[in-house]
Structure 1
Amino acid sequence: MTVSVEVINPGDVRTRTEIRAVFGGSPQGGICPSEDRHSVNLYSDPDVGELVGYYDGWLAEEDELGPVFEYTGAGKSGDQTFDGVAGSGNRAILRHAEQGRVLRVFTRVGKVPGSDTKTHRYLGSFTLDGMEPYVWRRVPGEDGLERNVIVFRLRAEGAVQYTAEDVIPAAEATTVEFVPFRPVTAAMFQSEPATSGGLPLPKQRSRKSTTARKPAPNAETSGTFVVPEAFGTKLSIRAATAATVAVRHEAELTQAYKAHLDAAGHQTGAFQIKVRGLTSTLRTDLYDATEHVLYEAKGSNSREDVRMALGQILDYSRYVKTQDHEGEPKRVILLPAAPASDMYTLLDRYDVGVVYRADDGRFVGDTVPKTDQ
């Protein structure tokens, strides 16, 4: 009996030849754009990623918009990029919306009996998360050397298949690793090479599930220190929502204060935290390794943002431990302007300081170092 390939639904298993007949794309590679079919086909091979310590799959933790599927970008060795030929696949993912394409995810499940032809299960159509389209992670490459990889955060568009076997495994051991930092949100505001348009907010979730969800087992916690690099491209947005404006302001503020710390001769970075029993990865905004100060930045000085920053920094600081400093770091909230006076009382109760940018551009606060500039 011949299987029709006129329609491929979430959960269907097909060969790449059959997939190409419907959604186009190239016969090889993990990221396969198709201009005529308005599609960017993403192929995930669990065996490949797991060999070098990373996973594509659903995060077990959901937010108010539903689940997130993490997909690792192209490039098996060396730092992944959005630039040039090496970054063409990653750019195709980041620019899919403005180019009128749909992200479609497939995961390898086996081979056609009696042959070496691989088969892939279709999970459904996706779009990038509107607030945090990707994050940087530090993992080993095929050559065994540590490198920065791009992990895209995908949201379901319409019905998708969600099964327990596609959920990323929870952390099982505590690991602390010092690694370089890469900016997380800069490319969503760049006109080139990433995108000049605002990323769409995901639609209300709707998923097709064939297997009951299993809770992730508890294990241990890991934290990773990361060293910042410059954004390198002026931030700009078009047709952005108020939320993305706040993200841009936060990114600009963090970069400006990082530059101030660098000018004072301080070593700066951030922490990437893998929490015991969770599949998601937390990331702090900025860490002054010279003075052992952890900063949580916000794009506004509103009461809501200050309260959110307080909760985040109390959470993150529990995991920040280094060989050069004893105990938890000093906790400071970084704001674009001074908060309301009563918020200082709240922050003092939890021993959390404030640094803000004055009208003349100077940074004000007890932990702000002096520079010769």
Structure 2
Amino acid sequence: MASSVEVINPGDIRTRTQIRKLFGGSPQGGICPSGDKGSVNLYSDPDVGEQLGYYDGWLAEEDELGAIYEYTGAGKLGHQTFDGVAGTGNRAILRHAEQGRVLRVFTRVGKVPGSDTKTHRYLGSFTLDGLEPYVWRKVHGGDGLERNVVVFRLRADGEVRRDQADVIPPAEVTDGEFVPFRPVTAAMIQADPATSGNLPLPSQRVRTGRRRRKPAPNAETSGVFVVPEAFGNQLSIRAAAAATVAIRREAELTQSYKDYLEKAGHRIGSYQIKVKGLTSTLRVDLYDATAHVLYEAKGSSSREDVRMALGQILDYSRYVKMEEHEGEPRRVILLPAAPPPDMYALLDSFDVHVVYRSDDGRFVGAVVPPSDAP
């Protein structure tokens, strides 16, 4: 192990003491903010994570912006949170950009020979994904109880180390599960300081290794996060503003329709899907377990969004299976306004319905149940 601590490059192995001399942070814990060093140091220990029902790592699937590294938030017992003392570390990650701090990820690799001092490999610096900074995942903790954990989605900010040992392997089987809907709060829809920091879309350069890891837990549900007004230099200001409006509108629309369905006496949640061969988890926007109806929501009623929703719901619906219902669910696209008239013919040809919100706030569509609310 190299002795110099003046520079730590991706791939270098250091003790926490050596890391703290350069990047600050506390001597223990997984999420270690440092105001004077402008850093939030994230320590991952695969052995500990697996005992608690999760582990961190790279998703094997990449999108047009590159790879995603998943890092699980703080809290070993019960549901994780962003609130109070228990949520301090998670808030530090969420607010890292607005507080001018860099996310730096380290993964435990062993111990200093002849001692119990742990060593950590430096993966590199990261920022939160600008469009989906975190997801909620349901896991079984060390006590065997179900709990929700927050899983941050990190984008490499410059050169990083990406060994195969840190890549989440593909699912061995395809399965799905009905899960509770994660509520959308006002703070997630409005420009709250916790959710309005600048989350730039970083550059991506990676190096690969060879080792593999054990399969990851399957359960995952998504949280909703307000997209910031600026995504950095990879998206134009106009595109960023449009995406912000659409995501806020989609979040509010989904929550409103969920509330409506529940007032009508329906059991509403989401549905998570793990597909054989993939490491990422598919998640539907809304699932009505009472009526066996699957919804894909969009924040815009444009032709482009309707076509995207059509492809998504055709993909998802083939995996949704419930013991109390036979066959695939009815497929419905949820929109903030009526789509272009000719799109109805396209959707009809695939047996996909539409629910939209009218100018007076009512939900319109053949599958909309009457509300029992006064």
CA, structure 1 residues 69+186, in 2 after alignment: closer, same or farther (shift >3 Å)? Answer: farther
Equivalent in the alignment of 2:149 = 149
Contact 1:82 / 1:194 at 8 angstroms: preserved in 2? no
Offset at 1:193? 7.0
**Tell me, what secondary structure is at the counterpart of 1:344?**
helix
Q: Tell me which residue corresponds to 1:201.
A: 200
RMSD value, Cα: 2.7
| Change beyond 3 A, Cα 1:176–1:299 | closer
Give the corresponding residue for 1:43: 43
2:357 counterpart letter in structure 1: R
**1:177: Cα distance to partner?**
4.2
Which sits farther off after the overlay, 162-171 or 50-59? 50-59
Question: CA 1:292/1:182 → structure 2, altered by over 3 Å: closer, same or farther?
Answer: same
Give CA deviations for 1:7-44 in whole Å, capped at 9, x if unaligned. 10000000000000000000000000000000000000
- 1:9 alignment counterpart: 9
Q: Give ranges in structure 2 of 5+ residues lacking alignment.
A: 231-239
Q: Give, as a single letter, the amino acid of the residue that structure 2 aligns with 1:68.
A: I
Percent pairwise identity: 73
Tell me, what secondary structure is at the counterpart of 2:369? coil
SS of equivalent to 1:341: coil
Q: Which runs of 5+ in 1 are unaligned?
A: none
* Matched residue, 1:342: 342
CA contact (8 A) 1:186 1:251 kept: no
- Quote the Cα distance in structure 1 between the aligned partners of 2:115 and 2:187: 42
1:160-239 pair list within 5 angstroms: 160-183=160-183, 189=189, 194-197=194-197, 199-207=198-206, 209-211=207-209
Structure 2 counterpart SS, 1:160: strand
Change (3 A) 1:184 1:258: closer
Is contact 1:133–1:185 with CA below 8 Å preserved after alignment?
no
Q: Distance in 2 between matches of 1:164 and 1:236?
A: 31
Deviation at 1:211, TM superposition (A): 2.1
- Paired AA for residue 294 in structure 2: L
Instruction: Assess, with a 3 A threshold, how the Cα gap between structure 1 residues 117 and 12 changes in structure 2: closer, same or farther.
Output: same
3-state SS, counterpart of residue 86 of structure 1: helix
- Give the 5 Å matches for 1:274-289: 274-289=274-289
Q: 1:295 to 1:56 in 2, by over 3 A?
A: same
Deviates more, 1:184-193 or 1:333-342: 184-193
Q: Is the 8 A contact 2:294 2:330 kept in 1?
A: yes
Q: Could you tell me which residue of structure 1 aligns to residue 138 of structure 2?
A: 138
Structure 2 residue identity aligned to 1:251: A
CA distance in 2, matches of 1:11, 1:149: 28
2-structure distance, mates of 1:187, 1:277: 36
Task: For residue 140 of structure 1, report the CA deviation from its aligned partner.
Answer: 1.1
Query: Hey, what's the Cα distance between the residues in 2 that align with 1:238 and 1:72?
Result: 26
Q: Separation in 2 of the partners of 1:48 and 1:2?
A: 26
Looking at structure 2, the residues matched to 186 and 44 of structure 1 have their Cα atoms a distance apart, in angstroms, of: 32
Moved over 3 A (4+): 173-179, 183-193, 221-224, 235-240
TM-score (normalised: structure 2): 0.90
Matches within 5 A, 1:306-345: 306-345=306-345
Question: What is the Cα deviation at residue 283 of structure 1?
Answer: 0.7
Partner AA of 1:25 in structure 2: G
- Distance (whole Å) between structure 2 residues aligned to residue 341 and residue 190 of structure 1: 32
* Alignment deviations for residues 198-246 of structure 1 (CA, whole Å, 9 cap, x no partner): x423123222x152698x99x9x9787x7x99x9x9x797566321221
Question: Which residue number corresponds to residue 101 of structure 1?
Answer: 101
Report the Cα distance in structure 2 between the residues aligned to 1:294 and 1:314, rounded to whole angstroms: 10
CA distance in 1 between counterparts of 2:268 and 2:2 reads 60
> Does the 8 Å contact 1:67/1:155 carry over to 2?
yes
TM-fit CA distance, 1:165: 0.9
Per-residue CA deviations over 1:155-200 (Å, capped at 9, x if unaligned) read 0000001111110122123454444332479765555572333x42
Letter in 1 for 2:110: G
The offset of 1:53, in angstroms, is 3.3
Higher mean C-alpha deviation, range 53-62 or range 34-43: 53-62
* Equivalent pair of 2:229/2:241 in contact (CA under 8 Å): no
Cα deviation digits, residues 247-286 of structure 1 (max 9, x gap): 1111011011111101111110110111111110111000
- Size of the aligned set, in residue pairs, is 363
Aligned pair in 2 of structure 1 residues 330, 160: CA closer, same or farther (>3 Å)?
same
State the Cα deviation string for residues 283-311 of structure 1 (Å, max 9, x = none). Answer: 10001111000000000001110011001
Q: CA deviation at 1:132?
A: 0.3
Q: CA offset at residue 68 of structure 1?
A: 0.3
Matched ranges for 1:353-368 at <5 A: 353-368=353-368
User: In the alignment, residue 164 of structure 2 is paired with which amino acid?
Assistant: A
User: What is aligned with 2:88?
Assistant: 88
Which residue pairs with 2:234 in the alignment?
A: none
